[in-house]
Structure 1
Amino acid sequence: MAIAMFSYDSAKPFLAVIFLQFGYAGMFTITKHALDEGMSQHVLVVYRHVVATIIIAPFALIFDRKIRPKMTLSIFLKIMLLGLLEPTIDQNLYYTGMKYTTATFTSAMCNVLPAFAFLMAWALRIEQVNLRKIHSQAKIIGTIVTVGGAMLMTLVKGAQLDLPWTKGYDALASTGSLTKQDPIKGALMITTGCVCWACFIILQAITLKSYPVELSLTAGICFMGAIEGSVVAAVMERGNPSAWSVGMDYKLLAAVYSGVICSGIGYYVQGLIMKRKGPVFVTAFSPLSMVIVAVLGSFFLKEILYMGRVLGAVVIVTGLYLVLWGKSKDQPPSNSSHDKAAEIATKTSTETQEMTVTTGSQEFVAVDITKIRLPDESA
């Protein structure tokens, strides 16, 4: 029973990060459909984080009210910067890049995120790297291979793959987008967004050390993202009030789904995983969402797959799992209950040994007389 509990406890970070990737995969597909129908990407960012704030704030107020640290100027500025990096800059660039490409292409390009996160974590000494060790060399080589795969996907198109469910559709019809396709421009926007996303993940890991309340931090990020995103949307959509209108359609579904699953729950679960496994682990499973999106995109959006992009995706996956293998050989400190129990047992054993005094063949045990309770005489 103990072994089973330990295995489940060790598997929880893996299950949580896989859940995140399935959530992101759904967001790629739903959002792409909403953008193709003409929804403003800037307005989507605002609505996404308004929804996330409404959903997550009550939980933060209830569950964190007794454990929430005092809000300092330093923490407030970090939350402002977090709201600017990912909810505002990254997502505006990311959604705009998606308009110029496809859902599959966008999800694959986002696989450069672990490479950027690894390099930043290495530079800030958050990630362990020893150039003499094979697993550290694997993480570095994997990072280089990942970037190379992203470049291959962007620059090499290759032959069109005629899948049974996409026959009869050409590339233009498969996108259904009102925006002219431009993979180079889209790739540059998505890559820049991934840099901001990596900065966000590293800063979130740092902020959690001084403000270790995941729900409250998530609510703060979503709230600041909604405010800062509103400023960007107001500037970009000035003179176009119709951009803010949504109905009971994919536009509303995209805002609610991405707000609840990818921002509200996503930031919270991401914070929990980071406290235990670090920021690089959180980003290492991105290829899973790419595979799911490729299947969903070809089925529901009739997106055409090309050989060059498939090969680039394979290279990206290879590089990322080199990074993941190297990461698995690290031994970060664990916070599991079993480790804590072992630590307490060891400490207790040590203290007991220190209290034991041996003189010749006689052994005496030192007793703290201040902790002896005498019977109550009045009884």
Structure 2
Amino acid sequence: MKELSGGLKQAKPYLAAILLRFVAAGLVVIAKIALNEGMSPQVYSLYRYCVAAIVVAPFALLFDRRRRPEMSWCMFAKILLLGSMDSVVIPNTYFTGLKFVSPTFSIAMSNAVPALSFFFAWIFRMEKVDIRRVSSWAKIIGTAVTVGGAMTMIFVRHPTLRFGWTKGADSQHHSSTAANNQDYRFKGVILVTISCVSSSLSCVLQAIVLKSYPVGLSLTVLVSLVGVVEGSVIALAMEWNNPAAWSIHFDFQLLAILYAGILISGLSYYVQGVVMEAKGAVFLTAFFPLSTVIVAIISSFAVSEILSLGKIVGAVIIILGLYLILWAKTKDQALDKAANAVSDVARPTTNRSV
């Protein structure tokens, strides 16, 4: 029984990271449909953080009240920066870019996040790289493989695979491609790229903040409040003369707002912090490529996006790269445990000699 409970405890971060990818994949497809129906990305971002703050605040007051550390000016500045990136820069650039590119492309671009997060974590000395260790090489190669798999999904478009539920998608695809100006597509690519770089920095920054402010629910509320304040300014600036953008209808737009506010900005952000506290930012972002596979499958049903052999092959490559990274992280943890055990044994001996 103890072995079973121990196994479940060890599996929790892995299961949570996989679940987060399913939730994120669902958001991309739902948001794409809502954006196609005319939803404003800026108003959407504002509303979702309003929902997140309202939903999570009672839990933060209940569970974090006695263990919330004092707020210093340095910590306030870090949280303000984190909130600006997570609740303003990332959603506004990503969902504005999503208007001009496909869901699979946008989520595939996010597969650069593990490589960038690994790089930033190494810069901030949160991730060890020792070229004498096989595990370090496995992390580097695994990260490169996941990015390569994502690029395969993006650029290898033929041959296409036809299924019963994608019939008629060819004509829809060609008409939408003709309608979308190449300049708008380029704009979408740039915006999604900015979002991915910001996401990488944000994951590392969130891990740093949680070390000195280890109250995930309260941090989620504070980040959401930053999104409400700064998002209001941006939404008013962009949609001041468009009253229709502020109206809420009982359709996919409302579903996208509630889904993102409750499950993404609320629950997922908190769970993401818990996983990072346990395993680190690089571990969490290593699972990002799974979203590409999930979105490719869901999009073929939801928006009749055509699957290609490149997407299937890319998905397999991504999973292989992910396995390499997770194997390397497991090896690193085992080596660190052994090193800590040796130091713990050696410490009392040193004290007795003194």
TM-score range, shorter-chain basis? Answer: 0.7 to 0.9
CA distance in 1, matches of 2:334, 2:234: 40
Residue of structure 2 equivalent to 1:134: 134
Cα–Cα, structure 1 residues 282 and 325, in superposed 2: closer, same or farther, change >3 Å? same
1:68 counterpart letter in structure 2: R
How do 1:91-240 residues align onto structure 2 when only pairs under 5 Å count? 91-170=91-170, 172-173=172-173, 180=180, 183-240=185-242
Cα–Cα, structure 1 residues 311 and 237, in superposed 2: closer, same or farther, change >3 Å? farther
Count of aligned positions: 341
Alpha-carbon shift at residue 96 of structure 1 (Å) = 1.7
CA distance in 2, matches of 1:107, 1:95: 11
Unaligned runs of 5+ in 2: none
Cα–Cα, structure 1 residues 248 and 286, in superposed 2: closer, same or farther, change >3 Å? same
Structure 2 residue 44 is the aligned partner of structure 1 residue 44? yes
Q: Secondary structure at the match of 1:221?
A: helix
Alpha-carbon shift at residue 180 of structure 1 (Å) = 2.0
CA distance in 2, matches of 1:259, 1:19: 17
Structure 2 residue 253 is the aligned partner of structure 1 residue 251? yes
CA distance in 2, matches of 1:307, 1:116: 27
Cα–Cα, structure 1 residues 174 and 302, in superposed 2: closer, same or farther, change >3 Å? farther
CA distance in 1, matches of 2:192, 2:121: 20
Q: 2:305 aligns with which of 292, 303, 306?
A: 303
CA distance in 2, matches of 1:179, 1:39: 19
How do 1:19-30 residues align onto structure 2 when only pairs under 5 Å count? 19-30=19-30
Residues 171, 304 of structure 1: 8 Å contact kept: no
Alpha-carbon shift at residue 332 of structure 1 (Å) = 7.1
Aligned-pair Cα RMSD in Å? 2.7
CA distance in 2, matches of 1:70, 1:332: 35
Residues 111, 289 of structure 2: 8 Å contact kept: yes
Alpha-carbon shift at residue 58 of structure 1 (Å) = 1.1
Structure 2 residue 252 is the aligned partner of structure 1 residue 262? no
Cα–Cα, structure 1 residues 181 and 280, in superposed 2: closer, same or farther, change >3 Å? farther
Residues 166, 300 of structure 2: 8 Å contact kept: yes
Cα–Cα, structure 1 residues 87 and 204, in superposed 2: closer, same or farther, change >3 Å? same
2:246 counterpart letter in structure 1: W
Cα–Cα, structure 1 residues 171 and 107, in superposed 2: closer, same or farther, change >3 Å? farther
Alpha-carbon shift at residue 100 of structure 1 (Å) = 1.2
Q: Can you list the C-alpha shifts for 1:19-65, whole angstroms capped at 9, x where unaligned?
A: 21121121112111101111011111111111000000111111111
Cα–Cα, structure 1 residues 280 and 332, in superposed 2: closer, same or farther, change >3 Å? farther
CA distance in 1, matches of 2:58, 2:284: 26
CA distance in 2, matches of 1:232, 1:329: 45
1:164 counterpart letter in structure 2: G
CA distance in 2, matches of 1:175, 1:308: 22
Q: Can you list the C-alpha shifts for 1:279-311, whole angstroms capped at 9, x where unaligned?
A: 111111123222222221111211122344444
Unaligned runs of 5+ in 1: 336-342, 355-379
How do 1:13-92 residues align onto structure 2 when only pairs under 5 Å count? 13-92=13-92
Cα–Cα, structure 1 residues 252 and 283, in superposed 2: closer, same or farther, change >3 Å? same
Cα–Cα, structure 1 residues 308 and 181, in superposed 2: closer, same or farther, change >3 Å? farther
Residues 30, 250 of structure 1: 8 Å contact kept: yes
Cα–Cα, structure 1 residues 196 and 47, in superposed 2: closer, same or farther, change >3 Å? same
Residues 83, 228 of structure 1: 8 Å contact kept: no
Question: What is the TM-score with the length of structure 1 in the denominator?
Answer: 0.82
CA distance in 2, matches of 1:125, 1:171: 51
Greater per-residue helix proportion:
2
Alpha-carbon shift at residue 191 of structure 1 (Å) = 2.0
Residue of structure 1 equivalent to 2:10: 10
Alpha-carbon shift at residue 312 of structure 1 (Å) = 4.2
Share of identical aligned residues, percent?
A: 48
Report the more deviating stretch, 287-296 or 246-255. Answer: 287-296
Residue of structure 2 equivalent to 1:281: 283
Report the more deviating stretch, 98-107 or 82-91. Answer: 98-107
CA distance in 2, matches of 1:38, 1:234: 17
CA distance in 2, matches of 1:238, 1:157: 41
Alpha-carbon shift at residue 321 of structure 1 (Å) = 3.3
CA distance in 2, matches of 1:242, 1:163: 38
CA distance in 2, matches of 1:178, 1:166: 19
Alpha-carbon shift at residue 331 of structure 1 (Å) = 0.9
Residue of structure 1 equivalent to 2:294: 292
Cα–Cα, structure 1 residues 48 and 180, in superposed 2: closer, same or farther, change >3 Å? same
Q: Can you list the C-alpha shifts for 1:297-341, whole angstroms capped at 9, x where unaligned?
A: 111211122344444444444434332332222117999xxxxxx
Residues 99, 177 of structure 1: 8 Å contact kept: no
Cα–Cα, structure 1 residues 175 and 85, in superposed 2: closer, same or farther, change >3 Å? farther
Residues 139, 326 of structure 1: 8 Å contact kept: yes
Question: What is the TM-score with the length of structure 2 in the denominator?
Answer: 0.88
1:282 counterpart letter in structure 2: L
1:293 counterpart letter in structure 2: V
